[in-house]
């Protein structure tokens, strides 16, 4: 055996033996690693598969041509084998980078902070590095002359592509500073949208209309933009209102604040504010400042709020100023209050529970008013003792009971002629139910103190109302238990 080895060329004693024993051993080791990774369903399986079945054979082929067969540097077979080896190595490296960045190998927080542009640059660098090695070491290209030529040509190319390069460097600056990330709501100029993607050239937004808007990074670099999602998602909106000089400022502030507090989506903490801005020529300008925690809902919350303002202002008698050129003729005592009293009196006459002398009804109507409520507004809150009770004049209301987890335990629809809020009137107790408007709702709001005077003079009405409360309580108890 020793004599046989002594007769072999030096190349076979070193590289030949290394290939003969090393290559099978490498195949066995990588095969075992491959089986282990397949059992674990690892994403690295494809990498090891490429190394075992493609990269190692390509390396062995190159070593045979270069170290054992001693093919010259000008041999086409040697150049092709070396080129194939480097191409396979570059391809395997790129797959490893992809798996490293987009799999669970890195923590999620680290992956989220890696800019897409950096990943693209890393891939490009690996490709260019491999191409440079192949061109220089394998094919004998003079990289010095190539770089000199590129340096001269880059001046002309830079002038021709200055807009593209401007966007590129703006993208680099944008991604490195990370003023926003995918999913953030931002405003650029007069346009708002949610960030869909960020790359080296532009930022893609989805606006409120659902359209995809692509904004070049060079434009963003020159504009002032807002990030509505950072440093936290809480965002303040300011809505101005012009109110008549006839309404006291403190009353107006209270009414506007009540409307804001009752609007779903407006935060109670930080609390909304109402400030008086200015005294204008025909009105006083107020501004309601409220906070939301999801900018995507800004339009729907604004719509709910300004809709609620109309109903709240109407109930409290807050008036919006009219245009200065409008002229109204006063027609004596033909007013809205008189018409409302007639409607209320007629409604009471149609209800059996109000079978009392007309004189008593006329007195009661003086302590009543007609209020309007919008869809979803809460008229009566469970657990509160009110100073009024109500008769539905038009629309549909829903009385319900919910537990602490907002699970509905009881519900009942109320229509025209139905009464609610009787617990506070009959028993001076808190309401057992909450009542809200299912449609636009008009109700007759009756002062409890005025109603008590009517009950003292008409005990049969008190008895009827007591029976109504007892019946309602039995229905509620049956539904809850």
Residue 177's pLDDT is 61
Q: For residues 372 and 395, give the distance between their C-alpha atoms in angstroms, rounded to a whole number.
A: 10
Write the pLDDT tens digit of every residue in 212-243.
Answer: 999 887 787 777 888 999 888 999 999 999 99
- Alpha helices, H only, 427-458: 448-457
- What is the C-alpha to C-alpha distance for residues 165 and 264, in angstroms, rounded to an integer? 47
For 274, the token pair is 């109402």
Which is it for strands 397-402 and 368-373: parallel, antiparallel or unpaired? unpaired
- Give Cα separations from 367 to 131, 157, 311 (angstroms): 92, 85, 20
pLDDT at 146: 56
Other CB atoms within 10 A of residue 86 CB: 19
With CA atoms as reference, report the closest residue to 65 among 50, 83, 53.
83
Q: How far is the CA of 164 from the CAs of 83, 119, 123, 147, 224, in angstroms? A: 33, 19, 20, 22, 21
Q: What does the block give as tokens for 255?
A: 């009414």
The domain segmentation of the chain, as residue ranges, is: 2-141, 168-227, 235-316, 336-480
Q: Answer whether 354's CB lies under 8 Å from 361's CB.
A: yes
User: At the topology level of CATH, where does 168-227 sit?
Assistant: SH3 type barrels. (2.30.30)
Architecture of domain 336-480: Sandwich (2.60)
DSSP letter (8 states) at residue 16:
I
Residues sharing a CB contact under 8 Å with residue 213, sequence separation 6 or more, in sequence order: 191, 193, 204, 205, 206, 207
Q: Give the whole-angstrom CA distance, residue 215 versus residue 75.
A: 52
Q: Would residue 376 be called left, alpha or beta, if left means φ above 0 and alpha means ψ between -120 and 50 degrees?
A: left
Q: Residue 431: what are its φ and ψ, rounded to 5°?
A: -65, 140
Q: Where are the beta strands (DSSP E) in 162-211?
A: 185-188, 191-198, 202-206
**Torsions phi, psi of 318, nearest 5?**
-80, 130
20 CB neighbour count, 10 Å cutoff: 11
- pLDDT beneath 70: ranges in the chain: 1-13, 73, 100-123, 137-138, 140-177, 323-338, 405-406, 480-481
**DSSP-derived secondary structure letter, 43:** T
* Cβ atoms of residues 183 and 227 within 8 Å: no
Q: Indicate the pairing of strand 397-402 with strand 434-437.
A: antiparallel
Burial class (CB in 10 A: 0-12, 13-18, 19+), 239: middle
Let me know if the fold of 168-227 is the same as that of 235-316: no
Quote the CA–CA distance of 31 and 24 in Å, as a whole number: 10
Tell me what pLDDT residue 390 has. Answer: 93
pLDDT at position 114 is: 52
Please say whether the beta carbons of 428 and 463 come within 8 A.
Answer: no
Helix (H) or strand (E) holding 88: helix 76-102
pLDDT at 435: 93
Class of the domain covering 235-316: alpha beta
Residue 331 structure tokens? 């027609």
Structure tokens that stand for 115 in this block: 């800019």
| CA-angle at 46, arms to 42 and 50, nearest 5° | 145
pLDDT at 298: 94
Place of tokens 């693209």: 120
Taking only Cα atoms into account, the Rg of the chain, rounded to an integer number of angstroms, comes to 40
Token couple for 63: 């070593």
> How much helix, strand and coil, in percent to the nearest 5, is found in the chain?
55, 20, 30
């Amino acid at each position: 055996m020793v004599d046989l080895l002594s007769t072999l060329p030096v190349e076979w004693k070193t590289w030949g033996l290394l290939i003969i024993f090393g290559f099978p051993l490498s195949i066995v080791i990588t095969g075992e690693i491959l089986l282990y990774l397949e059992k674990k369903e690892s994403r690295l399986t494809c990498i090891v598969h490429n190394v075992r079945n493609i990269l190692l054979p390509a390396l062995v082929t190159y070593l045979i041509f270069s170290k054992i067969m001693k093919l010259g540097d000008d041999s086409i077979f040697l150049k092709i084998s070396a080129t194939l080896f480097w191409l396979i190595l570059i391809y395997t490296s790129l797959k490893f980078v992809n798996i490293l960045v987009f799999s669970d190998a890195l923590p999620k927080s680290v992956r989220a902070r890696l800019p897409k542009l950096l990943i693209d640059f890393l891939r490009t660098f690996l490709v260019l590095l491999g191409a440079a090695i192949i061109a220089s070491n394998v094919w004998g290209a003079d990289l010095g002359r190539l770089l000199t030529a590129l340096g001269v040509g880059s001046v002309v190319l830079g002038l021709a592509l200055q807009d593209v390069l401007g966007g590129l460097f703006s993208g680099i600056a944008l991604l490195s500073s990370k003023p926003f990330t995918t999913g953030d709501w931002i405003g650029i100029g007069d346009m708002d949208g949610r960030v869909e993607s960020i790359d080296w050239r532009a930022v893609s937004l989805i606006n409120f209309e659902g359209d995809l808007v692509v904004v070049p990074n060079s434009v963003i670099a020159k504009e002032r933009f807002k990030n509505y999602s950072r440093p936290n998602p809480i965002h303040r909106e300011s809505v101005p209102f012009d109110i008549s000089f006839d309404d006291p400022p403190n009353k107006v502030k209270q009414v506007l604040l009540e409307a804001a507090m009752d609007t779903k989506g407006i935060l109670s903490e930080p609390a909304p504010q109402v400030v008086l801005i200015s005294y204008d020529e025909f009105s006083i300008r107020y501004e309601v400042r409220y906070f939301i925690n999801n900018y995507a809902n800004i339009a729907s919350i604004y719509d709910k709020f300004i809709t609620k303002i109309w109903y709240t202002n109407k109930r409290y008698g807050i008036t919006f100023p009219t245009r200065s050129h409008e002229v109204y003729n006063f027609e004596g005592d033909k007013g809205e209050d008189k018409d409302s009293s007639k409607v209320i009196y007629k409604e009471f006459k149609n209800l059996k529970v109000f079978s009392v002398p007309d004189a008593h009804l006329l007195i009661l109507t003086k302590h009543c008013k007609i209020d309007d409520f919008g869809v979803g507004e809460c008229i009566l809150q469970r657990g509160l003792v009110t100073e009024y009770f109500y008769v539905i004049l038009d629309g549909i209301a829903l009385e319900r009971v919910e537990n602490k987890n907002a699970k509905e335990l009881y519900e009942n629809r109320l229509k025209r002629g139905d009464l609610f809020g009787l617990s506070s009137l009959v028993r001076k107790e808190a309401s057992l139910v909450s009542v809200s408007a299912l449609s636009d709702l008009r109700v007759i709001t009756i002062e409890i103190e005025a109603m008590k005077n009517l009950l003292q003079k008409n005990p049969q009405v008190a008895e009827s109302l007591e029976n109504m409360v007892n019946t309602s309580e039995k229905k509620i108890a049956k539904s809850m238990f």
